[in-house]
Copies of this chain bind each other. A is one copy, B any other.
Amino acid sequence: MKFNKVLDDVKIYEAGKPIELVVREYGVDPKDIIKLASNENPYGTSPKVIKRIQEISQNMYMYPDDSMFQLKESLANKYNVESSNIIIGSGSDQILEFAIHAKCNKNSKILMAKTTFAMYEIYGKQTGATIIKTEDAQHNLEQFSKLYKEHNPEMVFLCLPNNPLGECLDTKDVYEFLKEIDSETLVIIDGAYSEYAKYKDENKKIIVDDLISKFPNVLYLGTFSKAYALGGMRVGYGIGKKDIIQNLYKLRPPFNITTLSLAAAIEALNDEEFVKECIAKNFEEMKRYEDYAEQKGFEYIPSYTNFITIKFDDKYISSEVAQNLLQRGIIVRDLTSYSMNAIRITIGKKEQNTKVFKQLDEVLDILK
C-alpha cells in the first residue's frame, strides 16, 4: 500500500536498550543490570510521588482531567506565567511533534546543531522539511547565525544543555542570537536538562517569563523525565506566547497524558527538595567519571546534564566497548549512529558507577 512520500525518508528513533532486552538476549539477571543509557534519574522517583500513585492507582479506569487545570496552575506559578502560556505533552517530545507539525511542511527549513536530540530531525522529516545542520557537532552560534541568514529557516532548535553531548550555551549569548531572528521563525529552546545546567553554572540559567516576553517567537520546553525522575510517565510541557500555544493545541490529541502521569507530575512539583538532592549527587558522581576519563587519557565533553560523553579517538571502537559492557549487564549509549566514536553514559548512583569503572577497566583491557 502506498503512503505519503515523505515517510520514505523518515528514520525510526533508536531508544536506549531496555533492561528487559538485556535479560532476554544475554540472560543477565535483572538485578545485576545497570542501565545508564537513557538519562533517567538513577535515584528513582520521589517517595512522595510513589506514595501518591499507590493511593490513586484505582483511578486508572478514568480519563484524566483533559484541561490539566491543576498541573498547568502549578507550572504557571513555578515559571511566573499564565496557564494559557502552557501546553502539556506526553514528554516534551510530544511538544516538539506539535510544534514541528504545526509550523513546517515540505517547503520548510529547520536549523539545528549537527549532533543534537534525534527527534528534531525525525519529526522534521515527517513533514518533508529540509534539515540544515551546523558543521560543528556542538552548538556554535556563529555557525547558527550564518546558516540562519543564508537559509531563513521556519524553525531553529537550541538544545540547552545539549543531548547527547552535554554542552550548554550561556544565556546571554542565546539572547544575543535571538535578537537576530525574525519574529516569524519559531525558535525552540529545549530545556530538558536545564535543572542540571543552572545548578552547575548560573550563566546557563534561563528565566522563562523574561525569555518569552522578550522573544514572542520562542517556545521553551521542559520535562518531568530527567531531574523530576518521571521518565516512564511521559510528561513534558511547552511555554510560550498564547498564539503559539493555541496553535499547538490544535494538534494535541485528547487525554495525551495518563491519569497517573498527571497526578505524578503535580506531586513531583511539591517535592523540589528531592530534585535538588538528586542534582547535587549527580555532579559529585560526574566528577568521578571526569577523573576516570582523564586517568585513561580519554577526551570527554564537560557536561551540564546527568550524562557524560566520552570519546575514544583511535584508542578503541565505541560500538565494541558498548557491546562488551552490555554483555556484562551495563547498558550505555554508543554514539556511532551520531557519527562519533564515543559513548554516552548516564551518571548513575555511587555504587553503580563504581561497578561501571571496574567493568570498563576489564573491557578496555580485553579490547586493548
A interface with B by C-beta (< 8 Å):
1-4, 7, 10, 12-13, 15-16, 18-21, 24, 35, 38, 40-45, 49-50, 53-54, 57-67, 69-70, 90-91, 93-94, 97, 101-105, 119, 126, 183-184, 186, 216-217, 225, 229-234, 241, 243-244, 247, 249-261, 264
A10 to B184, CA, bound (A): 21
Which B residues are in CB contact (< 8 Å) with A67?
18, 20-21
Residues of B within 8 Å of A186, CB to CB, are: 1
B232 touches A4 (CB 8 A): no
Counting chain B CB atoms within 10 Å of each CB, the highest count among A62, A225, A244 belongs to A62
A232 touches B62 (CB 8 A): yes
The CA-CA distance from A101 to B100 in the complex, in Å, is: 14
Among A19, A45, A216, A225, the most chain B Cβ lie within 10 Å of the Cβ of: A45
Quote the shortest CB–CB distance from A269 to chain B (angstroms).
15
* 7 cross-chain CB contacts under 8 A: A1-B183, A1-B244, A3-B103, A10-B250, A12-B249, A61-B229, A97-B253
Let me know if A258 and B258 touch, CB within 8 A.
Answer: yes
Residues of B within 8 A of A2 (CB): 184
Q: Contact between B62 and A1 (Cβ–Cβ < 8 Å)?
A: no
CB distance from A332 to the nearest CB of B (A): 15
When the two chains form their complex, are residues B65 and A40 in contact, meaning their CB atoms are under 8 A apart? no
Contact of A60 among B45, B66, B103 (CB under 8 A): B45
A126 contacts which chain B residues (CB < 8 A)? 101, 250-251
Q: Tell me whether B253 and A232 are in contact (CB under 8 A).
A: no
A250 touching B60 in the complex, CB below 8 Å, given contacts A217-B1, A258-B260: no
Nearest chain B CB to A246 CB, angstrom units: 9
